Amino acid sequence: MTNISTNWSYPTAVAFGAGRISELGEAAKAAGMKNPLLVTDPGIAPLDITQKALSAIKSAGLDVAVFSDVQPNPTASNVEAGLKVMRDNGHDGVVAFGGGSGLDAGKVIAFMLGQTRPMWDFEDVGDWWTRADPDGIAPIVAVPTTAGTGSEVGRAGVITNEETHTKKVIFHPKMLPAQVILDPELTVGLPPHITAGTGMDALAHCLEAYCAPSYHPMSEGMAIEGMRLVKEYLPRAYHEGSDLEARGHMLSAAAIGATAFQKGLGGIHSLSHPVGAIYNTHHGLTNAVFMPYVLIHNRSAIEEKINRLSAWLGIEGGFNGFVDYIMALRSELGIVNTIQELGVDDGRFEEMAEMAVVDPTAGGNPITLDVPVCISLYQQAYAGKL
C-alpha cells in the first residue's frame, strides 16, 4: 500500500499516494492559478507539512500567501476575513489545506470571491445555488491533512452563523475542487485523539449514507466499502500513527464517505450540528458520541440492513453485534460515552432539538425526527443510557 500511487477521476481528479504533495504547484497551475491563497487553520499553518506545500507551490513559479484565521467550526466572519485577503491581494484561486475547517472555509471563500449577494443566499435549500454567478467562483485545489470529513471531494462547505448559532451548508456544483491530493504522509503526525475523532466522522458519513432511505445504490455500495476500510484500518492508524498503509486507507474512507453521503445523512449529524455550533465541540467526536443512540432509535427501520452489513463486515450478532462493535471501537479509541463529557449542559436540549429538526441532514434519517424525539435523544446521550 505504501508504494501505491494512482490517479482517479471520481468524483473529481484525485492524485493518491505518498509524496504526491510535491505535485501541488503543478495542480494549482493546471487549475488556472497564478497567485493562490492557501487557506488552513492556525494549528496547521506553522507545521512542516504546510511549508512543504508552500514550497511545492513556489517551485511551480507561483506566488502564494497563507490565510489561517479559521476556527475549528468555521464562521461567517472567518469567510469574510479570508475574502478580504483574497480581494486585497489579487489572489486568483484557493488551495484548501488541512482538516474539515480549512477545507470548508477555503471552498466557501473561493465560491464567494465574485458573488454580490450575501453568503446565506446560497444555503443548500432548493435551487438557491442557481442564484450564484458561476464565473465569480475561483478555482480550488484541496489537500486534506486529516482523514475524516472528506470535504475535499464535496460541493459544499459548512459555515456557522454566529448570530443564530446554527450551522449552514453553502452549496454550489463548482465548489467541487478541480484537483485533490491525498497524500498519507501529511496525516502521519496527527495525534491519536484527532485520528480517532476524524476517523469516526468518516464512519458516521458512511453509516448514515448506508442507512438513508433514498435510492442511490452506487453511494450505498461505496458506503459499505468505506466502513470496511474504517473497521480494518482506523485502529491501526490510531495505535501506530506512522502506519502509511493505514493512513492511506483512511484517507480513502474519508473521501468515500463524503461521496456516499449525497444519498443522505441523518440523526447523528442533525443532533451533532447544534452541539458543535453552540459548544464548539469537535465535529467527528460529537458524531461518535451520538452514533449508538441514533442507531438504536432507528432500529425498527434499519435492522435488516444492519444485519446484512454486519455479515459483510464479519461482525457476529447482527444488529446487536454491530452496536456492540461501535461501543467497543469507541472505547478502544478513547471516545467518551456522553455529551456531558463534551461540556454540554442539560439546559438547552429543547433549543438544540428545534435546531436539529430543521438541520438539512435531518430529512435523511430513516425515522422522522421531531422535537420531542430529539429532546429524548439528547437526554439519553447526556445520561449515557442506551
Judged against a pLDDT cut of 80, whether residue 6 lies above it is answered with no
Q: For the chain, where are the E strands, in sequence order?
A: 5-8, 13-17, 37-39, 65-67, 94-98, 140-144, 156-161, 166-171, 179-182
Residue 10 binned pLDDT confidence (cut-offs 50, 70, 90): confident
Q: What integer pLDDT is reported at residue 1 of this predicted model?
A: 55
Judged against a pLDDT cut of 70, whether residue 382 lies above it is answered with yes
Query: C-alpha cell of 364?
Result: 435523511
Residue 148 binned pLDDT confidence (cut-offs 50, 70, 90): very high
Q: What integer pLDDT is reported at residue 166 of this predicted model?
A: 86
Backbone angles phi, psi at 171, to 5 degrees: -130, 140
pLDDT in tens, 21-75: 999 999 999 999 999 999 999 999 999 999 999 999 999 999 999 999 999 889 9
Instruction: Assess contact for 202 and 253: CB atoms under 8 A.
Output: yes
DSSP H/E element including 52:
helix 48-59
Rg for the chain, CA atoms, rounded: 20
Judged against a pLDDT cut of 90, whether residue 335 lies above it is answered with yes
Judged against a pLDDT cut of 80, whether residue 319 lies above it is answered with yes
| Mean pLDDT of the residues in the chain | 96
Residue 8 binned pLDDT confidence (cut-offs 50, 70, 90): low
**Range 352-356, long-range pairs (CB < 8 A, 24+ positions):** 352/271, 352/274, 352/275, 352/278, 352/378, 353/378, 355/166, 355/273, 355/274, 355/277, 356/267, 356/270, 356/271, 356/273, 356/274
pLDDT in tens, 357-372: 999 999 999 999 999 9
Q: What integer pLDDT is reported at residue 191 of this predicted model?
A: 94
CATH 3.40.50.300 fits 5-186, yes or no: no
Instruction: Assess contact for 305 and 316: CB atoms under 8 A.
Output: no
Query: C-alpha cell of 97?
Result: 489545506
The C-alpha atoms of residue 130 and residue 138 are separated, in whole angstroms, by 16
Judged against a pLDDT cut of 90, whether residue 16 lies above it is answered with yes
Q: What integer pLDDT is reported at residue 2 of this predicted model?
A: 59
Q: What integer pLDDT is reported at residue 285 of this predicted model?
A: 97
The domain limits of the chain are: 5-186, 190-383
Q: Which CATH superfamily is domain 190-383 in?
A: Dehydroquinate synthase-like - alpha domain (1.20.1090.10)
Residue 165 binned pLDDT confidence (cut-offs 50, 70, 90): confident
Q: How far is CA 262 from CA 28, 141, 217, 220, in A?
A: 27, 21, 11, 10
pLDDT in tens, 192-251: 999 999 999 999 999 999 999 999 999 999 999 999 999 999 999 999 999 999 999 999
Q: How far is CA 297 from CA 293, 367, 374, in A?
A: 6, 8, 10
Instruction: Assess contact for 16 and 5: CB atoms under 8 A.
Output: yes
